[in-house]
Structures are given as C-alpha cells and as structure tokens.
Structure 1
Amino acid sequence: MYCKCSVIIVFIFVSVYNTNAKSNFDMVFTNCTCFSEDPEKMLSNLKCGLSKSVKRPSFNIELQFQKPVTRFFVNMRIVLPRRFGGDFTLFNLSGIDGCSLLSNKNQIAFIQLGRKHMDQFSNVPKRCPWPKDVPYYVRGFRSDMAAMPAFNFESDMNLWFDLVVNQHKLIRGFIQSRVQRRKSHKTGAGEDLSV
C-alpha cells in the first residue's frame, strides 16, 4: 500500500493529473547528472545532461547495456530545499521493483496516464528483460505544469535516483529543477498576459 501511494507521488512529479489551475507556473530544469557503479561491465553507454535551450531547458538521459537486464530496482528521493530550517522531503523510496513499475499492470488510471506522459519523451521498455545493445533514452523531457494537482508555491526541487542491478547502484542520477511562476508582461491597457 505504501509503495503504491509513493508511486502515485512520482507520477505527479511527471504530470499526470489534469487541471488548469497552475497554467502560470513552469518547471525549469537546472541540472541533470549521472554516473555509474558498474563492476560487472553491464553498461556500454551512459549520458545525462540538459538541452541547450536557454529559455526552457529540458533533460536528457541516454543509456545502453552490453548485457541483458532481467531484473532491477529503483530508489528515488525528492527534496524541496528550504531557506530556513530543514529541507522538506517530499518522498524517499527504496527497493521499488523496476519491472513491475515499467509494466504498469493493474495500476490505477492515474498511474497509466503518467506512463503515457513519459512515453512522449522516451523509448523506455514496458517490460523486462531489457535487451543488450539497444540505445534507451529520455529526450527533451518537460513537465506540463497544467497537468499537475493545484498548488500555489515556488520552490527548488531536487530528485535523486538509483537504478540497482545485482545489488550494485548501476546508475546514480541527480535532477535539479525549479518550480516558478511564469513572467508576465503588462499591455498598454493594463491587461496581464503570461509569456
């Protein structure tokens, strides 16, 4: 039960719930890095980074395996840093069965929508095993803030993730972003137009 609720929160992050309450907010990605702990030489390629767009950067992750991946686990943690006091941990999950997460079987409609959103930006498989020598990617990922539940705040948001294979953190990644109000321009008539 705890795991299912936590997975719901993950997909809120990638925008799955439809509402128009936040159309004047954007999520701007400011950092995307990853590195590998690969003693078994599973990976042949791993790249993480931001697009070159200055106006609204997106993040990209590319990887390729030189051995098939039959089972893996995922750890994820999202933290909202605070200026005063301790940082707020939105969630901290470990040991999520990655194959079950990918297959999206018997999930509520809410989770299925999250998977569909990710599919727009990636070729991440929907089942295990992941064959070797196939380039997998998430390219140009952008969150659609209009699709998230209603909120009214600006905050930095830090996401750490691990892909664990054979008890090794094969991929460790960090994505930093900022939820911020869109800048607006005043017209001559005093009308407020969002950019």
Structure 2
Amino acid sequence: MEFTLLDALKEFEFQIGIVLPRRPVDFLLLNLTIDGCQFLANKNQVPLMRLAREILDRYSNFPRQCPFQRGKAYYIRAFRLDLSLIPALTMETSMQLQFAYQRNQLSMLQGHIVASVQRTNNAKKKNVI
C-alpha cells in the first residue's frame, strides 16, 4: 500500500476494528477510534495499539509524529505478521482487521485484512530433513 497526500495532514483519527467470524453472529473483538497523532507518537497506548505501532515502524515509513507531509509517498511494504510479537494465545481462529484514517468524520484511507491464526506442531518441523 502506498499513498501521497495533496495537503499536509496535521490531525486525524485512526479507527481499527477486529472481527472474529462466528456463527450465527460475528464476534467484535475490538472497535476503537483514537487520536491519530497520539497513535503515531505512541503516547498512552494499550499494549495492542503499541504492537500496531511497532509493526508500522518495521514495515512502513509512517512518521512518529504529526503532520504527514504533503507530496511525500507513505507506504506499508512486505508486511508479514510476526507471531512472536503477539502475546501468547491458545486459540486458532480466522480474523478480519479493518482500519481507517479519518479527518472531520470523512474517511481518507481504508484497509481490510483477512487472516487466520493457526498453531503448528513444532515436533513435525524438527523431524523434517
């Protein structure tokens, strides 16, 4: 994903939602809207949002503070979720991640990621030659 802004972005909101598909009704794990500049600066964040910031640091050139500059190409490239960054879980599940950058209630950028968390048997990997 890559984008360029026509104007400098000095304030915005970051919205994130995590949905776990279930029958008959999907389970909404997280639905959060926060100040985007505070998110970029990693101020007063819960561990899950801090994890998201660390991922941005690794795969993108998003700034650590506002503003986003006019005319500069911002990107997220070669994204792969490193499961060692995620707190220990014993669940296997599919998930949908939705995110958006908003300004004055208007969505400027939206994204949608569909993924699944699966445990693997390390014993099988050790026996493979």
> Normalising TM by the smaller chain, what interval?
0.7 to 0.9
Q: CA deviation at 1:113?
A: 6.1
CA distance in 2, matches of 1:119, 1:156: 25
Matching residue of 1:118: 56
TM-score, structure 2 length as denominator?
A: 0.83
Mapping 1:9-158, distance limit 5 Å: 61-82=1-22, 84-94=23-33, 96-105=34-43, 115-158=53-96
Of structures 1 and 2, the one scoring higher in RCO (CA 8 A, sep 6+) is 1
Matching residue of 1:171: 109
SS in 2 for 1:120: helix
- Greater fraction of residues in helix: 2
Unaligned runs of 5+ in 2: none
- Greater fraction of residues in strand: 1
- Counting aligned pairs with the same residue, the percent is 39
Q: CA deviation at 1:79?
A: 0.4
Aligned-CA RMSD value: 2.5
CA distance in 1, matches of 2:90, 2:49: 23
TM-score, structure 1 length as denominator?
A: 0.57
Unaligned runs of 5+ in 1: 1-60, 185-190
Matching residue of 1:23: none
Pairs aligned (count): 127
Q: CA deviation at 1:154?
A: 1.5
Q: CA deviation at 1:147?
A: 2.6
The letter for the 1-side match of 2:62 is V
